Amino acid sequence: MNTRDRREFLTQTVLASSAGWTLAANPSWAKDENQNGNFHLAPFRFDVTPPKGHSCCGGWIKPVVAVDDPLQAMGFVMLGAGKPIVICAVDWTGILNEAHLQWRKALADAAGTTPDRVAVHCVHQHNAPFACLDAERIVQAQGDLPHIVEVDFFRRCLDRGRKAIVRCLTAAERITHIAHSQAKVEKVASNRRVFRDDNRLIKGMRGSSCKSAKLRALPEGLIDPWLKTVAFYNKDKKIAACHYYATHPMSYYGDGRVTSDFVGLARMHRQKDEGTCHHIYFTGCAGNIAAGKYNDGSKPVREVLTRRVYEGIVRSEENLRPVPIENVQWKTVDVLPPARDNLSAEALEARIANKANAVVQRNRPSFMLSWLRRVARKMPIVLSSLRINDVSLLHLPAECFVQYQLRAQQMQPDRFVATAAYGDGGPWYIPVKEEYACGGYEVSVAFCDPGVDEILTKGMKALLS
């Protein structure tokens, strides 16, 4: 694409975004028969644990050998604000492109709504499936590559999802109140990109775990320290609590042992405290955030990190003050950020076909090729937000850098903005514009042009205005 074409494409994309609004069919303050301000919540959960031998993280780390704790999809259907709204968090590495649309369609069909009113987000554990049906077709055509995701397993999960939603709707409970609160999590999140030279170029990274004492000794860097909670009540009974925190969720991985890892284990402990409330955990904009400063990768650290996140959840919940739900609004914006200039279909196809390359150098380019083809067929990413009183739940795609969620909160300083990222994972990493020139791992696997920053920021602004 030449510069002029690209400029036109960007303009068209932004126009498409502003035209892509959908408001709740009936804003909640409309007191018609469907609405009444008569809101209900139907929480659900279903198992998404992969079978033995299934690929983890796209097939380039050890496949499943055992299950330490099961993977879950958890969420809720909200009724009473126009067509039903579905929000779901999945203990998988990612759900991308067509696979993400299929998830939203399946949950939408079961809930009696449309896919644009469904937000599906991954928690991003790595000993877990990384589902892209397009990439799966590409690697299977090679004949010698491990699966990205096994399609029959993928379909079984969607079947379970449909059934879970149909079942939960029969037990939907009235919700009258909402509460929000936050607490700082101590010594978990750290920025991965703090090891730089004078020109801010990245000299090395601090990943989920970090063996180098020198890198661990570097400062935390830019993070969002707040664990945010939004809870729904029927009078004084807490029905569901959604927790949001920005960090990669892995303490260690690559051993084939399926686990929801420290954030999932913290969620499970909180669930044990309160059996009647559904505790749901969302990973925020954690593209450049992980526990590396506080994690040398040794096994006991998983328990330490679990405790710190659990304590963050408990401290956050201490400040929940329910207030009556007055209005509810769902908004969406469609965006289609352009692919990186340096992605060429021919070169990617050659890399994937080259049997001398390691699996990671063949399966990973299949994700890149899937993104390139998706952009060519103009399949947008749906951003969405659920606003309830002065609380906004913001739904962003893929591995956004933490700057995006800090920016979202700054856009509406008087409101409580809780951001879930890792929605449609098609673009992989989404750095902010100025980080592209600094290089490093995340930028090397960012599939979008730096123009994604402006497109996403405009979309966020529209959703939060």
> Which residues contact Zn ion (rule: CB under 5 A)?
399
Minimum CB separation from Zn ion for residue 351, in Å? 21
**Closest to Zn ion by CB, 91 or 334:** 91
The two structure tokens encoding residue 235: 């009078």
**Closest to Zn ion by CB, 58 or 161:** 58
CB atoms within 10 A of CB 345: 13
Minimum CB separation from Zn ion for residue 124, in Å? 6
Angstrom distance (rounded) from CA 146 to CA 79: 41
- The residue number whose beta carbon is nearest to Zn ion equals 399
Contact criterion met (CB below 8 Å) for 81 and 112:
no
Minimum CB separation from Zn ion for residue 430, in Å? 11
Angstrom distance (rounded) from CA 465 to CA 462: 5
Is the CA virtual torsion 203, 208, 209, 214 positive or negative? positive
**Closest to Zn ion by CB, 111 or 446:** 446
Contact criterion met (CB below 8 Å) for 267 and 260:
yes
Distances (CA, A) of 325 to 38, 82, 111, 321: 10, 15, 22, 12
Minimum CB separation from Zn ion for residue 125, in Å? 10
**Closest to Zn ion by CB, 84 or 129:** 129
Angstrom distance (rounded) from CA 160 to CA 152: 12
**Closest to Zn ion by CB, 124 or 278:** 124
**Closest to Zn ion by CB, 123 or 386:** 123
**Closest to Zn ion by CB, 122 or 168:** 122
Minimum CB separation from Zn ion for residue 353, in Å? 26
**Closest to Zn ion by CB, 317 or 399:** 399
How deeply is 237 buried, as exposed, middle or buried, from its count of CB atoms within 10 A (0-12, 13-18, 19+)? middle
Angstrom distance (rounded) from CA 17 to CA 374: 17
Minimum CB separation from Zn ion for residue 451, in Å? 22
Minimum CB separation from Zn ion for residue 360, in Å? 14
The two structure tokens encoding residue 393: 């739940």
**Closest to Zn ion by CB, 134 or 399:** 399
Angstrom distance (rounded) from CA 231 to CA 465: 23
Minimum CB separation from Zn ion for residue 128, in Å? 12
The secondary structure element, H or E, covering residue 332 is strand 328-335
> DSSP 3-state assignment of 327?
coil
Minimum CB separation from Zn ion for residue 401, in Å? 11
**Closest to Zn ion by CB, 91 or 399:** 399
The two structure tokens encoding residue 80: 């009473």
Strand partners of residue 173 = 41
Pairing of strands 237-245, 226-234: antiparallel
Minimum CB separation from Zn ion for residue 93, in Å? 8
Angstrom distance (rounded) from CA 239 to CA 168: 13
In 114-179, alpha helices (H): 133-140, 151-169
The two structure tokens encoding residue 268: 């499970």
**Whole-angstrom Cα Rg for the chain:** 21
